[in-house]
Amino acid sequence: MVRTLCPYCGVGCGLEVVEGRVRGDRAHPSNQGMVCVKGATLMEAIDRDRLHTPMARARLDAPFRPISWETALGMLVDRLRTTLAEYGPEGICLYGSGQFLTEDYYVAQKLMKGCLGSNSFDANSRLCMSSSVSGYVQSFGADGPPCTYDDLEATDCAFVIGANAAECHPIVFNRLLRQRRANPAMRIVVVDPRPTETARQADLHLPIRPGTDIDLAHGIAHLLLRWDRLDRRFLEAHTSGFEAFAATVAHYPPETVARRCGITVDALEAVARLWAESGRVLTLWSMGINQSSEGTAKVRALINLHLLTGQIGKPGAGPFSLTGQPNAMGGREAGGLSHLLPGYRFIADAGHRAQVEAHWGLAPGSIAPQRGRTVWEMIEGLEAGEVGLFWVAATNPAVSLPDLERVRAALLRSPFTVVQDAYYPTETAEFAHLLLPAAQWGEKTGTMTNSERMVTLCQAFRDPPGEARPDWQIFAEVGRRLGFAAQFPWGSAAEVFDEYKALTGGRPCDMSGLDHALLAAGPRRWPSPAGGEADARLYTDLRFATPDGRARFAACHSRGLAEPPDDGYPFVLTTGRLYGHWHTQTRTGRIEKIRKLHPHPFIEIHPRDAAKLDLSEGEAVEVRSRRGVARFPARITAGIAPGVLFVPMHWGSLWAENAEANALTHPIACPDSGEPELKACAVALRRVSGA
Ligand code: SF4
């Protein structure tokens, strides 16, 4: 029996693999033996459509030909050298993934930021969690969800906003429902424009208009101030910026907020009363908050409510982001975004750069002082002819980025694209010059951190197929061939972890007390300092990671959607996930049971809107935005508000024709986090007669 972690969502369920079969690990504290359909069917995709050998081609219209690793690595190293000479370090971009192990992340960025001098190593967490990262950093002085899953079973009131946890984080939601069964007085409030499966289970559902989350949060704060239901002792001793915040929320009286959000004043007051009267409030959010042009401000508006009421640092309370990817958290800790360095350090901080350079045995100044490109800036760099080498690993940007027509055109301009993946074909592989076969889950050992900061050792239980290699080994071999043998000396992932963890000592995400041998006995939550104990929750001493130890209120106004509906594009299109599928279907599209569960894409439309278009159930509807067009069979349902549409984001060109949600979405991003507003754009509809 081998213990590992589910490689899908950020819930991070522990798994046991016994004789080729997967089951939930009862000893894992995060899931306590439970798994959802994705975890349960994992083994079915493990051998399907695998990339077995490196392949290359000179032009994108030529067929791939298999090559040896020796040839592939030689080609890549030559190309890195010529790109460095012609474009400079920032002409090299690496786009990685929350599917990486922490060890993969660490080695990739040591190669990029340390040895090649390019900070342009970003990951798909940029599309997923970066608004939470910047929200936590701005409010608390450091990233890191303060809560644990035990808080799900200790709360009086769960305030779930912008998260369809029942489908996207099912085991977390199961634990929340378990708490309500045990404590019937406990309340679940769900804020979502759609009556999702999560909303159907709620005691109170607020179907706010898309883009009005900050209005709602400020409206609740306004009422709490009016009713004087604040924790004044906490405010005075542990926060800063209250006056500016109070002046801001004075502009959000209930009538105004109710009108903007499309809810009643009674509903607003009901939720504010729950905030006022509940002993322990836990806020849970995910992409509906993060994927926004004001994502950081939304996160901070939610944190404001916790600061106002002192709902933090105690059981059952706190602001808790639910991570999308299985190891987005590990990436954040290991510096897996283009503005970060390992151990929750920042590129912009000269002291942090010097610490990491010293640890890596590199000369002072090796790490460039300016942040690297976000993934969207990589696309813009390709458009501008400033990027000469684009390296994609374990992710599928030709489906997952917004404004796909523009992305494809940029990828066609790329002088040299490397795609490193376990699977072939993928939509992004169509744009590759060089394909590198990667080992996947179960074929490499390393660690992942889930949403509650639980670090789990994911143990290999089989060899990679063909010539596939672990991602960290590929990055390390490239580094050695570039002349950095001393920087990439490891013989195992355990040695990589040992080097990495030393960089976390004394940092907020301290895991210097962990190693692979210890984790083989069971997962551990950070902080785990060497030779010491730490509280499971962060900020139990109410001292925050800011210079003055106080959490900061944010005084930001709501700006609403970046692309509101208008006469030409009168509908708001929202996008999201389904229970069975994962991201761009690279795994789940290859699993029969999940394909049966969700056989085809669709668009949800309200009966009133369908009637105006004379549209029947299942008929094709053409959806057009300012950027692109797609077609979907109509699913007519009163489960969506008039004027709002929903399309799942899972279907790329491999799985359906012309049904890509991101053909329609726009790249306008949060100015603080760089996270695009994948959740909403303005579209027009047309019935496709006869289809
Ligand atoms: Fe995997 Fe997430 Fe399902 Fe758990 S809830 S089994 S981590 S997909």
Structural domains of the chain in order of their starting residue, each with its CATH number: 55-124+330-444+466-497 (3.40.50.740), 130-321 (3.40.228.10), 571-687 (2.40.40.20)
Band of residue 207 on the pLDDT scale cut at 50, 70, 90: very high
Contact at 8 Å (CB) between 214 and 294?
yes
Distance from Cα 293 to the centre of ligand 1, integer Å: 28
What share of the chain in percent tops pLDDT 90?
93
pLDDT of residue 650: 87
558: closest CA among 301, 379, 262, 311?
A: 301
Distance from Cα 91 to the centre of ligand 1, integer Å: 37
Question: What is the number of the ligand 1 atom nearest to the C-alpha of 9?
Answer: 2
Contact at 8 Å (CB) between 135 and 165?
no
Least confident of 394-408, 544-558, 577-591: 577-591
CA atoms within 13 A on the CB side of 111: 31
Neighbours of 67 (CB within 10 A): 18
Helix (H, G, I), strand (E, B) or coil at 635: strand
What distance lies between CA 486 and its chain's CA centroid? Answer: 33
Q: What is the spatial order of strands in the sheet that 454-458 belongs to?
A: 446-449, 454-458, 524-525
Band of residue 588 on the pLDDT scale cut at 50, 70, 90: confident
Distance from Cα 172 to the centre of ligand 1, integer Å: 9
Band of residue 583 on the pLDDT scale cut at 50, 70, 90: confident
Atom 2 of ligand 1, nearest CA residue: 9
pLDDT of residue 540: 97
Angstrom distance (rounded) from CA 269 to CA 343: 42
Residue 586 has pLDDT above 90, yes or no: no
pLDDT of residue 690: 61
Mean pLDDT across 286-305:
97
Concatenate the DSSP letters of all residues of 335-382 into one string: T-STTEETTTEETT-HHHHHHHHHHHT--TT-S-SS----HHHHHHHH
Distance from Cα 457 to the centre of ligand 1, integer Å: 16
pLDDT of residue 691: 55
DSSP H helical segments within 130-262, as ranges? 130-140, 165-168, 170-182, 197-200, 213-226, 232-238, 242-249, 254-261
What's the alpha-carbon Rg for the chain, to the nearest Å? 24
pLDDT in tens, 412-463: 999 999 999 999 999 999 999 999 999 999 999 999 999 999 999 999 999 9
Relative orientation angle of helices 213-226 and 295-309, to the nearest 10 degrees = 20
Distance from Cα 169 to the centre of ligand 1, integer Å: 7
pLDDT of residue 455: 98
Mutate to test the pocket of ligand 1, among 17, 35, 458, 591 (most ligand atoms within 8 A of CB): 35
pLDDT in tens, 11-31: 999 999 999 899 999 999 999
pLDDT of residue 533: 83
Mutate to test the pocket of ligand 1, among 5, 13, 28 (most ligand atoms within 8 A of CB): 13
Distance from Cα 35 to the centre of ligand 1, integer Å: 6
Question: What is the number of the ligand 1 atom nearest to the C-alpha of 326?
Answer: 7
Distance from Cα 38 to the centre of ligand 1, integer Å: 6
This prediction has a pTM of 0.97
Burial annotation 173-198 (CB, 10 A radius, 16+ → b, else e): bbbbbebbeeeeebbbbbbbbbbbbb
Angstrom distance (rounded) from CA 385 to CA 373: 14
pLDDT of residue 171: 96
Question: What is the number of the ligand 1 atom nearest to the C-alpha of 8?
Answer: 8
Reduced DSSP (H G I as helix, E B as strand, rest coil) percent helix, strand, coil of the chain, to 5:
35, 20, 45
Residue the block writes with tokens 């969800």: 145
Distance from Cα 519 to the centre of ligand 1, integer Å: 20
Tally the residues of the chain: 691
Question: What is the number of the ligand 1 atom nearest to the C-alpha of 450?
Answer: 7
Cis peptide leading into 527, omega within 30 of 0? yes
pLDDT of residue 442: 95
Residue 309 has pLDDT above 80, yes or no: yes
Question: What is the number of the ligand 1 atom nearest to the C-alpha of 36?
Answer: 3
Mutate to test the pocket of ligand 1, among 5, 31, 34, 38 (most ligand atoms within 8 A of CB): 38
pLDDT of residue 534: 87
Mean pLDDT of the chain: 96
Tokens of residue 343, six digits: 């151990």
Mutate to test the pocket of ligand 1, among 25, 36, 37, 99 (most ligand atoms within 8 A of CB): 36
Element (H or E) spanning 267, and its range? helix 265-277
Atom 3 of ligand 1, nearest CA residue: 36
pLDDT of residue 689: 73
Question: What is the number of the ligand 1 atom nearest to the C-alpha of 172?
Answer: 5
Distance from Cα 449 to the centre of ligand 1, integer Å: 13
pLDDT of residue 324: 87
pLDDT in tens, 76-117: 999 999 999 999 999 999 999 999 999 999 999 999 999 999
Band of residue 45 on the pLDDT scale cut at 50, 70, 90: confident
Distance from Cα 393 to the centre of ligand 1, integer Å: 22
Distance from Cα 258 to the centre of ligand 1, integer Å: 36
11: closest CA among 598, 583, 459, 453?
A: 453
Tokens of residue 378, six digits: 């990589």
Band of residue 578 on the pLDDT scale cut at 50, 70, 90: confident
pLDDT in tens, 516-542: 999 999 999 999 999 888 899 999 999
* Residues at CB less than 6 angstroms from ligand 1: 6, 8-9, 11-13, 31, 35-36, 38-39, 170-171
Mean pLDDT across 382-404:
97
In sequence order, what are the residues at sequence separation of 6 or more whose Cβ sits closer than 8 angstroms to the Cβ of residue 193? Answer: 207, 208, 209, 210, 574, 640, 641, 644
